[in-house]
Amino acid sequence: MDEFELIDRYFVRSPPAEAHGVMLGVGDDAAVLEVPAGFDLVAAVDTLVEGRHFLSSTPSRSVGHRALAVNLSDMAAMGAEPKWATLALTLPAVDAAWLDGFSSGFHALAAEHGVCLVGGDTTRGPLTVSVQILGLVPRGGALRRGGGRPGDLLVVSGTLGDAGGGLELARSGPPADAATAKLIERFDFPTPRVQLGLAARAAASAAMDISDGLVGDLPKLARASGVGAHVSIERLPISAPLQEKFNAARARDLALAAGDDYELLLCVPPVKLQQLQASAERLNLTLTVIGELSAESRIRWTFHGEHFAPQVTGYNHFG
Ligand code: ADP
Ligand code: MG
């Protein structure tokens, strides 16, 4: 199978063209996309490297899913509706079984979110997957990190630490119980909170997705907003499977510092909380208030009212 047969077989899918604004998709030198009047184009790219972002034992279906999911999560964090993606794939060799899994994981999630794969690049080298995502927001309506104000509530979606726990458990082989399987599933198949991001546009003052862990990510949001924050660590939402597989201190550290959950961190003025809670309920998603933004310029962590210094740090490639 050569490069072009590979692209044809695994990545060309007939797009419901006009409906998706695809004037020209895979097959030319570049894609041509129609941005409707009154919308801003929102762009992001994320790369997954074998051995860095996933294990060699990670199923290829998961790699395909995650490569798109982490980008969809960036759209969610911006309150953008994802529309188009491009895929730069570097493969050590053509492995049909691997490509079957990878492409089915990718296309399944793309279909779920109505995203069209409109181009890419295929090269030989160490296994690396880059996806670029393009989405739309009504003009001026993107959710940013910098809109938080003192007094806004700090809200997270879902539960934290599961994917980090799953990654740790996956290192010691296939899951032996339901809780382990659940946590590994959270690492392998993260759910980007796209619909929540869209709903948050009307309620949140600022947003980001937690990809590198709360301890590392919250300061980025606070800095961008020019505010401080207080977090009550005992409020962090920790799932039953995480509690089952890890002791309380370890579960707390995973919830604080592990990335890969791709939950949203939202700043919500108190008067908007109920509205956002109602949207989350419709999406079958829990929201948890973990603290609030403050006028001081530091992050304060407390555990049942006592000062707490996290002994863990967020993920940093060159840290
Ligand atoms: P070029 O030589 O202009 O860079 P290529 O020959 O690499 O284009 O690719 C041919 C076509 O296939 C282009 O339209 C490109 O966008 C698309 N393509 C290449 N690799 C992928 C991929 N992994 N997924 C989707 N489309 C791809
Ligand atoms: Mg070309």
Residue-wise pLDDT tens digits, 101-153: 999 999 999 999 999 999 999 999 999 999 999 999 999 999 999 999 999 99
Q: Would you say 203 and 276 are in contact if contact means Cβ atoms under 8 Å apart?
A: yes
Distance 83 CA to ligand 1 centre (A): 18
Distance 124 CA to ligand 1 centre (A): 13
pLDDT of residue 259: 85
Cβ atoms within 10 Å, residue 158: 22
Q: Would you say 204 and 143 are in contact if contact means Cβ atoms under 8 Å apart?
A: yes
- Give the mean pLDDT of 68-91: 97
Q: Looking at the CA of 9, which ligand is closest?
A: 1
pLDDT at 100 over 50: yes
Residue 138: strand, helix, or coil: strand
**Mutation test of ligand 1: which of 6, 87, 122, 134 has the most ligand atoms closer than 8 Å to its C-beta?**
122
Distance 19 CA to ligand 2 centre (A): 26
Does ligand 1 come within 6 angstroms of the Cβ of 134? no
pLDDT at 316 over 80: no
Q: Would you say 261 and 163 are in contact if contact means Cβ atoms under 8 Å apart?
A: yes
**Mutation test of ligand 1: which of 9, 10, 26 has the most ligand atoms closer than 8 Å to its C-beta?**
26
Place of tokens 């990510």: 217
pLDDT of residue 83: 96
pLDDT at 201 over 90: yes
Residue 162: strand, helix, or coil: helix
Tell me the CB-side half-sphere exposure of residue 247, using CA atoms within 13 A. Answer: 1
Distance 110 CA to ligand 1 centre (A): 18
Distance 122 CA to ligand 1 centre (A): 7
Distance 119 CA to ligand 1 centre (A): 6
DSSP state for residue 273 in the 8-state scheme: H
> In this predicted model, which residue has the larger pLDDT, 196 or 312?
196
Long-range contacts of 30-39 (CB under 8 A, 24+ apart): 30/119, 31/84, 31/86, 31/118, 31/119, 33/83, 33/84, 33/118, 33/134, 35/136, 36/136, 38/138, 38/139, 39/136, 39/137, 39/138, 39/139
Q: Looking at the CA of 27, which ligand is closest?
A: 1
- Give the mean pLDDT of 275-288: 98
Q: Binning pLDDT at 50, 70 and 90, where does residue 318 land?
A: low
pLDDT of residue 310: 87
Q: Measured between alpha carbons, how far is 212 from 22 in angstroms, rounded to an integer?
A: 33
Q: Do β-strands 39-49 and 128-138 pair in parallel, antiparallel, or remain unpaired?
A: antiparallel
pLDDT of residue 319: 57
pLDDT at 93 over 70: yes
**Mutation test of ligand 1: which of 116, 121, 129, 132 has the most ligand atoms closer than 8 Å to its C-beta?**
121
Q: Binning pLDDT at 50, 70 and 90, where does residue 18 land?
A: very low
Q: Which of 48, 83, 45 is nearest to 187 (CA)?
A: 48
pLDDT of residue 17: 47
Does ligand 1 come within 6 angstroms of the Cβ of 26? yes
The alpha carbon of 265 is separated from its chain's Cα centroid by a whole number of angstroms, namely 11
pLDDT of residue 1: 82
Distance 14 CA to ligand 2 centre (A): 21
Region of residue 291 (left: phi > 0; alpha: psi -120 to 50; beta: else): left
Q: Which of 189, 167, 163 is nearest to 66 (CA)?
A: 189
Residue-wise pLDDT tens digits, 160-195: 999 999 999 998 888 889 999 999 999 999 999 999
Does ligand 1 come within 6 angstroms of the Cβ of 269? no
Choose the most confident range, by mean pLDDT, from 5-19, 169-183, 303-317: 169-183
Q: Would you say 290 and 154 are in contact if contact means Cβ atoms under 8 Å apart?
A: yes
pLDDT of residue 317: 65
pLDDT at 225 over 60: yes
Q: Would you say 66 and 150 are in contact if contact means Cβ atoms under 8 Å apart?
A: no
Residue-wise pLDDT tens digits, 251-273: 999 999 998 999 999 999 999 99
pLDDT of residue 19: 57
Does ligand 1 come within 6 angstroms of the Cβ of 89? yes
- Per residue in 108-146, is it b (16+ CB within 10 Å) or e — as a string? ebbeebebbbbbbebeeeebbbbbbbbbbbeeebbbbbe
